[in-house]
Each structure stands twice: as C-alpha cells, then as structure tokens.
Amino acid sequence: DTAVSQTPKYLVTQMGNDKSIKCEQNLGHDTMYWYKQDSKKFLKIMFSYNNKELIINETVPNRFSPKSPDKAHLNLHINSLELGDSAVYFCASSQVAGRGYEKLFFGSGTQLSVL
C-alpha cells in the first residue's frame, strides 16, 4: 500500500486555468505538508496542516489554497495559474509537527507545466 499518494502525476495546463492536486496518506499521521521543488531542486515549504491548524509560508501567493476534508487528506487548489507556477509539487506527512526527529514521508510528486 502506498503511504502517501498524490494525483495526478503530471498536469499540463494553460495559463489562467484553475487546477487541483489531491493528496492522501494512510499512515495515520497528524501533519501534512505541501512542498514546491523548483528547477534548482530546492524544496520550499508552502503549507503545513496539523489538526485543523494551517501554517502558511507567507511567500506563497494567495492563488494557492490548501483544503483538508479530514486528517488523511490535504488537497492543493491553484487559481489563475501562471508560467512561474511550473514546478514539481510534493505532498508529505509526518506523525506530528514540532519534534526534531520527525521524518517526512513524501508522495511521488506532481509535475505541473503551465503553458
């Protein structure tokens, strides 16, 4: 069984469109995250969500919004897509937040290409 699964794997769309990426974890973890990995391979935190507490990276445009129907799901919705949004987006989870040794479990990534 896949621990953290996200769909779709690839997403190609036009500028200005709205799109969503879904993420589900079956590990029973309390915290989920969205990361953006750009062409230089830096992983940048976008959001973390823990027991209904949303922590937003202030550099993320408000066109990006996470939606969590329950503890096992954290979807990412993007409005008015721009060329600069092209990147690989990773969902991840950890048992809890705020502990030093907590390791992250990542989904397989969604490669978003905005044309």
Positions touching other proteins (CB under 8 A) are 4, 40-45, 90, 97-101, 103-109
Asked if 77 and 59 count as a contact pair (C-beta separation under 8 A), the reply is no
**C-beta of 46: minimal distance to other proteins in Å?**
12
**One-letter amino acid of 85:** D
Asked if 97 and 50 count as a contact pair (C-beta separation under 8 A), the reply is yes
**C-beta of 15: minimal distance to other proteins in Å?**
25
Nearer to other proteins, 40 or 52 (CB): 40
Nearer to other proteins, 60 or 104 (CB): 104
Nearer to other proteins, 64 or 89 (CB): 89
**C-beta of 18: minimal distance to other proteins in Å?**
25
